[in-house]
Amino acid sequence: MPALEEVGMKVGFIGLGAMGSAMASNLIKAGHEVTVWNRSPAAAEPLGSLGARVVRTADRAAQGDVVFSMLANDEAVREVILSGGLLDEMDRGTVHVNHATISVALARELAAEHARRGLDYVAAPVFGRPDAAAAARLTIVAAGKPAVIERVRPLLEAMGSRVWSMGDAPERANVVKIAGNFMLGAAIESMAEASALTRSYGVSAADFLEVMTHSLFATPAFQGYAALIAEQRYTPAGFALPLGYKDIGLALAAADAARVPLPLAGLLRDSLLEALSAGDEDVDWSIMAQVASRRAHLDERNL
């Protein structure tokens, strides 16, 4: 089938957290007829003021040419998409694009359930924080039938700066997202520990990280998280600590299934768990820098 037209498509969007709301708003701005649903209805109201049709049940958002979903985790996806019977409400010919970061096991189950019902399915997790989503600068990793990806590409391009295709099997996109978040976590942990070391010798995290992110590590990921660490600006959370902990768990589960050792992932899980055990929930996962400082007792040493 030819690619979808760039304007005037009927699309549904399910899951309106900080990321989903920004993504849906860009579809509205691109001229599409967007129907939205969220488990917490209040999150849908701002999109209604932009022109979206707000509905009270997920099945009413599952009608149209394409249905997007951006839910928090495996449990939410299973509850809304599978247990909620949403797939049975979709018409054949509807494309479901799932942006959630989920386990490889659930990704395979979803692909099988869509195929059993004759529904087209694309896994399309994204890289980028809420500010990138608002600016339509997300990196989108898509996997599914090539013809189906091409059908939805104009819609994806309305939300992101580039769409990368990872092949036919949807779980390939999910494992790329999991592996990418593992790398981000490793970058944060390395900056956290290295900053603790420099602080112990009187060099501030801000000074050290400015040198690193303008020379050896002059990349967006390092620069963005370095700024949060240097300023100790962990709220509001661009990527919440519990989500980071969840994603490192997904990496370990995927590695276990494929018998791929990930020793560094185990260390990251422990750092994130240590932060959670200290009562840090509604904070960015760059709070790992605070964990490194506590381990070295830097505050007690007035460093």
Residues involved in catalysis = 177
Q: Which stretches within 52-169 are classed as H helix? A: 74-77, 86-89, 104-116, 130-134, 146-157
| Sheet order of strands, 160-165 included | 126-127, 138-142, 160-165
Distance CA 130, CA 25 (A): 12
H helix or E strand, kind and range, residue 98: strand 95-98
β-strand partners of 66: 11, 95
Judging by DSSP bridges, how do beta strands 138-142 and 160-165 pair with one another? parallel
